[in-house]
Amino acid sequence: MLKQPLRDILAQHPALAGETWLESLSLRREKNILLVGFPHRYFALWFGQHKKKLFEEVCNRCFAAESRPLILYEQDAAPAGPPAEREPLPANEDAAPRPPATEQEEDNLFAAFLCNNKNLFPLTAAREIAAGRAGRNYNPFLLCGRSGTGKSQLLRSMAATLAAVRGKGNVIHAGAARFCAENQAMARQPELLWERYQVLILDDIQDLAGETAWQSKLIACMDACPRPHAADAPAPQMVFACSGKPQALKVLDERLRSRLESGLVVELMEPDLDVRLRYLQLCCKERGLRLTRDQLLFLAQRCTQFRLLQGLLLKVEAFATVKGRALTRTDLENIVRTGLVDKTPDCREILNEVALALNLDPEETLAGRRRPDLVLARQVAMYVCRRKLGLSYPELGRAFGGKDHSTVIHAIKKINKLLVSNKSVQQLVTKVEAKLP
């Protein structure tokens, strides 16, 4: 019944005559939702790359605007549908509520996240919220922290715990930009999200900076989040992660920022030396790589982020495999010296160097005040970021407090002129660039 009008529309295109891909789809409509199923994941991937756009155009022509359904793709849907982990029906086995996870099960889910007292509060808060033992509804829960501090790992642990309790089909776990881009109908009927799901977990919320339409969609979904009908009923939960300190939220629309800040906001700090050492020991055990404690300590002292440690250890493992012998301290020094762990500075580090050179507070420099020395510091930082990182003007604008790209262009042009005529600016730029890797 559902396919026949779609076949009729496709038949109007001579170039599509003879194509049979529509017959491989399973279509099922439930109220305002059209569920699309695939025979296997490889067909889903092909569909997402070649036919999804055409399929949605045909659906838009088939249904009147007032009755147009929200299209949801099943678990093996290609990347243009809703998050891939979702099962299609809340009534199925995976969507049914489960008994509360035991403490041992929770320990297993969160065991991959290593921390000490410095990050104990964010970890404890995440566990209690995921298990429903927080004592109140911390909604939304926002996790901040620099890249490589373990935010995504903690989100995965929360998603697994929530799925174990509420059912996998009731949990959305995706990147923020992807979620907003793929759920086009959600802004029109955001209540459909909460009719179908109980938990929304979005990573990299900062990627929405500059995307006004996407931020508006997310605001609509947050506003539509219902309160539990009964005191003992599980409350819908929203969890977000942002790369950087909580102050990085100022690149977002004020309406979205205020909603994010209305919940519980925690920050993950970079792992201490003892945590990095434990992480390396665990990785070596899993890979069967034999390194002494002194060698592990040497590596842990060279990196401050988990991702960098992963890359460094991968190179150590490859080097040991090629050599076929135990590595010496000289071998490790040579590996480190190749530059694998010399990470590219980010915009904040460059701004810090400029502020330090001018005896300014980095936070004050980024605040947007028009004092001449602060303006010069921002402009120099933008110039160096452009040279060192190769960022586009819009990307630089977002990194510096949501500045318009025309402001960035003006800043870089001005510094280019001052480099010709102003010796102090020349010295400042040279000094800052010399301190960067």
Q: Is residue 91 part of a domain?
A: no
Contact 126, 158 (CB under 8 A): yes
Mark whether 327 and 236 lie in a shared domain: no
pLDDT at position 392, please?
75
Residue 183 shares a structural domain with residue 243: yes
Query: What pLDDT, on a 0 to 100 scale, did the predictor assign at position 229?
Result: 61
How many CA atoms lie within 13 Å of 348's alpha carbon, on the beta-carbon side? 10
The b-or-e profile of 214-229 (16+ CB within 10 A means b, else e) is: bbbbbbbbbebbeeee
Query: In the listed set 41, 56, 74, which residue is the last one of a domain according to the structure?
Result: 74
Whether residues 134 and 244 fall in one domain: yes
User: What is the rounded CA–CA span in Å between residue 371 and residue 135?
Assistant: 47
Q: Based on the domain organization, do 172 and 242 belong to the same domain?
A: yes
Please indicate, yes or no, whether residues 245 and 334 belong to a single structural domain of this protein. no
Is 234 contained in some domain? yes
CATH of the domain at 163: 3.40.50.300
Same-domain check for residues 285 and 414: no
Residue 90: inside a domain? no
Distance CA 406, CA 306 (A): 36
How high is the pLDDT of residue 341? 46
Rounded mean pLDDT for each run of 10 residues along the chain, 437 residues in total: 73 65 78 74 73 83 73 54 36 40 53 73 87 76 85 88 86 87 73 87 88 88 79 79 83 90 87 82 83 84 78 83 80 72 68 90 81 91 83 81 84 90 89 79
Residues 158 and 236 in one domain: yes
Domain span at 205 = 119-267
Where a domain ends, among 267, 296, 328? 267
Q: Are residues 144 and 243 in the same domain?
A: yes
Shared-domain flag, residues 125 and 217: yes
Residues 6+ apart with CB under 8 A from 382: 396, 400, 408, 411, 412, 415
Q: How many domains does the chain have?
A: 4
331 plus 399 within the same structural domain: no
Q: Is 191 inside any structural domain?
A: yes
Q: Is the domain of 63 the same as that of 133? A: no
In the listed set 236, 267, 298, which residue is the last one of a domain according to the structure?
A: 267
Instruction: Please indicate, yes or no, whether residues 262 and 308 belong to a single structural domain of this protein.
Output: no
CATH number at residue 19: 3.30.300.180
Q: Residue 93: what pLDDT?
A: 36
